[in-house]
Structure 1
Amino acid sequence: MRMRIKCEMDIINRLLPSMNVKKGGRSCHTQLSIGKKPQSDSKEGTLFLMVCTAQDKNGTKFQIKDNVEQIFAKFINEGKATIRFKDPEQDLCLCKADPLQLKNFLTLLRKASLGQNIDKINLSTLAPASNKGIDKPKTKLSVTSRKDYPLTKSFPSQLEHLHISQCRMKKIDSRIFQLKRLQHLDLRENVVEELPLTFSQLVNLRELILNSNRIQKLPSSLFLLPNWKQMLSLLDLSNNNITLLPVQLCELDNLVTLRVDHNKLETFPPTVGRLKKLKYLSASHNRIEVLPYSFMQLQLEHLDLFDNLFIDVTKSDLEEKEWQAPSLVECCARMIRKNRLPYSEDDLHAHLCRYLDSARVCWCGGFCFEGCVRALTSLSLQTFSPTVSAVDLQGRMTVPVLLFLCSPQCQRKYKRNPHAYWR
């Protein structure tokens, strides 16, 4: 059992509303402990819950036995709970506690309040708290030189923001993946070459900055991690050596900002339009020649495609071919991609995975592979975003767009009106 926990706490006096008095203030970092007063080591000694804060290191004591009216623990898995006392008529509202420690602490508190035997548990002496016990845990850390890097001591366990730059880090320190509360990780200006799948341990990660490293390849399985798909909102991969963005990147449901400037990209994934929440996209100084049609589906607020290798398209160019019924393999592949069924080399042969990755998106929204025709047109950058940068120093504002037509019906519609499906 845990005799002592640290958390954020707010005390609510239940008598104040009846006196028409509103409570002000905010929660503060607190140490809670269960024990007996000093020199009360006998079995009959009265148990207390002591609350220590930076303002009150000596602590406020609440008698436990027959004095706990109710414990509200509906959100205990989020580190939240409320302890209601009879005398005084106050509620202790706890948050930001370790869920497991909080469960153990409340279990002990319930037993003590009911007068159950807890003699086998070594209770703490209710002495004033030390500075270490009540200091607010460190949530931000910035390391900007190798000499300041913590080699002999661990990272603070409560970190939410971690910035490590100019430390010549080649592999991401495994200790970083133990920081369960980490939301913002900035590893810019290092020499990181690979991204490990242990990112799955950072369940609260929302922003990842890897600007100015030596990354060449992005593992596709990274973008299928549940925490990345559901949580990641900012991804900065600028100033690396990346040649390809995996199609799985388009599964990041909450991605708002994507920066891939100064890489070696030749194109975007054909399903990039699935990034429904993407608002800020920067891909300047790459080798992009054309944009995929699904780019039109993005609802961007800012777009920067300066200094790429966009080809000149003076008029729409439609490939002509005789249509044949799609193969059985293509029919199956279309259904897998349409229904967004997950796949990996653990399930399918490697060449089938590569085949599925090569899917093209028709302007009708369907997927196609060999059974399609190609069309090339040009569009103004204002079509994609209200705030844009020119693609070259001459102020060019048009870019080539490549689309594929999956059936004779789509081909006929395109011939009648090339802009039928453009938003």
Structure 2
Amino acid sequence: MRLPCEVEVRSCHLPTLGLKSRGKGVRAVVSLCQAPSKNELQPGARTETSGCACLLVSTMKDRQGTRYRLRENIEQLFTKFVDEGKATVRLKEPPVDICLSKANPGNLKTFLSAMRLAHRGSDVNTSLSTLKPVKTSEFEKFKTKMIITSKKDYPLSKNFPYSLEHLQASHCRLARVDMRMLCLKSLMKLDLSHNCIKKLPATIGDLTHLQELNLSDNQLASFSVPLCKSTLQKSLQSLDLSKNKIKALPVQFCQFRELTNLNLNDNELIHLPFKIGRLTNLRFLSAARNKLRNLPCEFKMLSLEYLDLFGNTFEKPEVLPIINLQVPLTLLEACEQSVLSYRIPYGPDIIPYHLCQDLDTAKTCVCGRFCLQSFIQGTTTMNLHSLAHTVVLIDTMGRTEAPIISYFCSLTCFVNSSDMLK
């Protein structure tokens, strides 16, 4: 029985010596093998009872592998993260921790069950491997990167290697995301550019380690809300949606708090998510050649290194503001403002869904208060150099200024800021 994974063997004495482990595993094949007979051991070596299993850890540098006794020799098994393909085996002799990672969770569970039986001296209900050196081909199965650039090379009859961390499937004429890709739990980079994908499954959010997602040059017309609420909120750092047909992004898109690089070039965007200021880690933003008329109020909260808004249809600031004040405030408005001001948790399981939508789309006044149904809307002009180190000119006239929408919760805030309006 063999398990391809990454392995780190570290001494249990390191903490007592004030030392830290290297903290990084190497590609290996871990095997449950039949314990060697007395004739196979070196003179003076300890023999094992016939039928017992031992653990063999083989790497590319040491294909012969290192053998560890299992019977009554496992001090503890750490299996809290077994569903993520991780586990640690602590041995008594020698006193080491064998840390396994990037393994198939199902195979890992079976492997650990067999190890428990071997520790107790029971018969292992699986076939045991031999103590022969592991073939080089066994390590080749443990691929972490696969690049496919044509339809004829796309695998149809066999699965993707489970250990993949980087998968590129470009120019393959894919009409949808292959569900087999969503089983690659170690995937960190997924490139599906230059295909014909029209819709994204929300289950992409199950790729908990995904950091880079490239969907450039497809036929996407929208970006799903469930995907914005998935575990990608904590992992996704780079997203390329350029050369699609997206007209708007949902307000929930701004929940990708770890996003540092966002490419929206060559779409049909009429506006950016007005909560875009919540993307506090965003450093590179490209939204060139869209149909943007103005920028949302929270855009000025960004702190970017690079900004490209060239080729948009920015309008001149409106001379007259839009006044939609309600005096006094309705009870509903006052309650919604209190929920936001005091950061009271809310959700569709607590209050009606339409009220959640109102709270999610609340505007922020220049004074910091929140506006929902009662507000004054005005347009100002902002120099983009105030929020980005490098700015691409927005048109051929050499301008770096763009109109930005501002909201005011009261007439007082509007008058105090009237010198900003044009």
State the TM-score, normalizing by the size of structure 1: 0.83
Contact 2:291 2:313 in 1 (8 A): yes
- Matched with 1:49 is 55
- Matched with 1:280 is 284
**Aligned equivalent of 1:407, options 407, 410, 416:** 410
Could you tell me how far apart the structure 2 residues matched to 1:202 and 1:119 are? 37
1:248 maps to amino acid: Q
- Matched with 1:181 is 186
Shift of 1:267: 1.4
Report the CA distance shift for 1:389/1:245 in structure 2 as closer, same or farther (over 3 A): same
- Matched with 1:153 is 158
Relative to structure 2, which stretch is displaced further, 131-140 or 188-197?
131-140
1:62 maps to 2:65: no
1:200 maps to 2:205: yes
Could you tell me how far apart the structure 1 residues matched to 2:253 and 2:22 are? 46
Report the CA distance shift for 1:148/1:231 in structure 2 as closer, same or farther (over 3 A): same
Report the CA distance shift for 1:300/1:337 in structure 2 as closer, same or farther (over 3 A): same
Shift of 1:96: 3.1
Relative to structure 2, which stretch is displaced further, 354-363 or 368-377?
354-363
Shift of 1:248: 0.7
Any residues of structure 2 matched to 1:26-175 within 5 Å, and which? 27-37=25-35, 44-68=50-74, 70-71=75-76, 73=78, 76-77=81-82, 79-86=86-93, 92-99=98-105, 101-113=107-119, 116-119=120-123, 121-128=125-132, 129-135=134-140, 137-175=142-180
Report the CA distance shift for 1:135/1:163 in structure 2 as closer, same or farther (over 3 A): closer
Report the CA distance shift for 1:138/1:335 in structure 2 as closer, same or farther (over 3 A): farther
**Aligned equivalent of 1:214, options 206, 216, 219:** 219
RMSD: 3.6
Shift of 1:187: 1.0
Report the CA distance shift for 1:11/1:223 in structure 2 as closer, same or farther (over 3 A): closer
Could you tell me how far apart the structure 2 residues matched to 1:15 and 1:276 are? 42
Could you tell me how far apart the structure 2 residues matched to 1:379 and 1:16 are? 57
- For structure 1, list consecutive stretches of 5 or more residues without a partner in the other structure: none
Contact 2:325 2:374 in 1 (8 A): no
1:261 maps to 2:265: yes
Could you tell me how far apart the structure 1 residues matched to 2:280 and 2:402 are? 21
Report the CA distance shift for 1:384/1:26 in structure 2 as closer, same or farther (over 3 A): closer
Deviations, residues 119-152 of structure 1 (Å, cap 9, x unaligned): 2624514242344434461111111111111111
Deviations, residues 184-217 of structure 1 (Å, cap 9, x unaligned): 1111111111112122322222211111111112
Could you tell me how far apart the structure 1 residues matched to 2:307 and 2:29 are? 49
Could you tell me how far apart the structure 1 residues matched to 2:152 and 2:274 are? 44
Contact 2:76 2:89 in 1 (8 A): yes
**Number of corresponding residues:** 405
Report the CA distance shift for 1:221/1:60 in structure 2 as closer, same or farther (over 3 A): closer
Deviations, residues 207-259 of structure 1 (Å, cap 9, x unaligned): 1111111111222232112x122211111111111111111111111111111
Could you tell me how far apart the structure 2 residues matched to 1:106 and 1:60 are? 18
Report the CA distance shift for 1:264/1:253 in structure 2 as closer, same or farther (over 3 A): same
Could you tell me how far apart the structure 1 residues matched to 2:124 and 2:113 are? 15
Could you tell me how far apart the structure 2 residues matched to 1:31 and 1:292 are? 53
Shift of 1:273: 0.9
Shift of 1:306: 0.7
Could you tell me how far apart the structure 2 residues matched to 1:92 and 1:353 are? 48
Could you tell me how far apart the structure 2 residues matched to 1:354 and 1:16 are? 53
- For structure 2, list consecutive stretches of 5 or more residues without a partner in the other structure: 39-47
Any residues of structure 2 matched to 1:333-412 within 5 Å, and which? 333-334=336-337, 339=343, 341-343=346-348, 348=353, 359-412=362-415
2:161 maps to amino acid: P
Report the CA distance shift for 1:193/1:27 in structure 2 as closer, same or farther (over 3 A): closer
Report the CA distance shift for 1:296/1:331 in structure 2 as closer, same or farther (over 3 A): same
- Matched with 1:326 is 329
Sequence identity of aligned pairs in percent? Answer: 33
Contact 1:270 1:294 in 2 (8 A): yes
Contact 1:372 1:404 in 2 (8 A): yes
Shift of 1:294: 0.8
Could you tell me how far apart the structure 1 residues matched to 2:371 and 2:191 are? 38
Report the CA distance shift for 1:59/1:333 in structure 2 as closer, same or farther (over 3 A): same
Report the CA distance shift for 1:14/1:308 in structure 2 as closer, same or farther (over 3 A): closer
- Matched with 1:8 is 6
Deviations, residues 257-295 of structure 1 (Å, cap 9, x unaligned): 111111111111221111111111111111111112211
